[in-house]
Structures are given as C-alpha cells and as structure tokens.
Amino acid sequence: PDYPYQFITRALTDKQFSTFAQFRAVLLWAYDMDLITFYEFYSMNMPIFMPSHLSKYLFQQDHMAYNYRWPRRKANPKQQQLWPQDAVETPFEEESLDAVRITLGFADYFRFPHVQYFESIPDLLTRLPQTDFFHVTQSMARFN
C-alpha cells in the first residue's frame, strides 16, 4: 500500500512510445542477446532495470542452425578476432554456459552505461525508490 511505484505490464498498455515515455522506468528480462526494445527504450533515455545475474536470462533462439558454418568461416589472420581462438564453443551454442558467458561480453545490456541492475525482486523494490531517475536519464542522454 505504501510502495511509491506501480508495476504495469506491456499487455496493459496501448504499446505506444508516447505511453511508455510517461513511465518512470522500464524493467526488462532479456530473452535474446540483442533485444530491440532495449535499444528503443535506451534511445528514449528511459531508465532500464535488468537482472544482474546470468541465471535470470533466457537465451534460447535456436541459433544452432548456424553452427555448421562456424568451422568453415574465413577468418582473416591479419584482423583481430573477437571470439576467443581457444574457445571450444561457438557463439551459437546457447545451451552452453561458457558460450553464453563469452557472448554476453558483446551484449549491450552489459556494455551500455547507466543500465540499472538488480540481484532479486526484493533488491529491485529497494533500488527503485532510491534511484535518482533524473540523473540516470541525463546520463543516458549524454551517452546517446
């Protein structure tokens, strides 16, 4: 009753950016390594809260269909390779925690500054009232 914020799911909105722009922040649980809504909200300078631990992410997009191409890729030996040369896994092995950990190093969820992370739902409920939303928004605008 005394909590200062209300949680609204996307399903309860008209899904218009003008509606989301009225929100104080958004909460995202990523289900893909490259979620378009993350970029849309970030470009709006909308504070984004996301889980901080890998176990809270669901990356199962059936990219293994591309895995057969990996051994045949044409790597330029003069060009720095982003994927570790000694990695046994390929970037498409979404069921491998080692591959996902490497891939997350490329995910903007963890590269863009000013994304707000939480450890658990109680942690989120504590962090929200303590967040300086104006500062986060202004910092995101400077990055954008």
Note the pLDDT of residue 68: 64
Q: Residue holding tokens 């570790």?
A: 84
Note the pLDDT of residue 72: 66
pTM over 0.85: no
Write out pLDDT tens, residues 106-141: 888 888 999 999 999 999 999 999 999 999 999 999
- Residue 56 predicted with pLDDT over 90: no
**Of 46 and 95, the one with more pLDDT:** 46
pLDDT band, very low/low/confident/very high, at 57 (cuts 50, 70, 90): low
Question: How far, in Å, are 23, 86, 94, 118, 122 from residue 29 at the CA level?
Answer: 17, 31, 17, 11, 16
- Residue 81, SS3 per DSSP: coil
Integer Cα distance of 38 and 3 in angstroms? 26
Q: Report DSSP letters for 48-85, one per residue.
A: EEEESSGGG------GGGGGGGGGG----TTS--SS-T
The answer for residues whose C-beta is within 8 angstroms of residue 34's C-beta and 6 or more apart is 107, 108
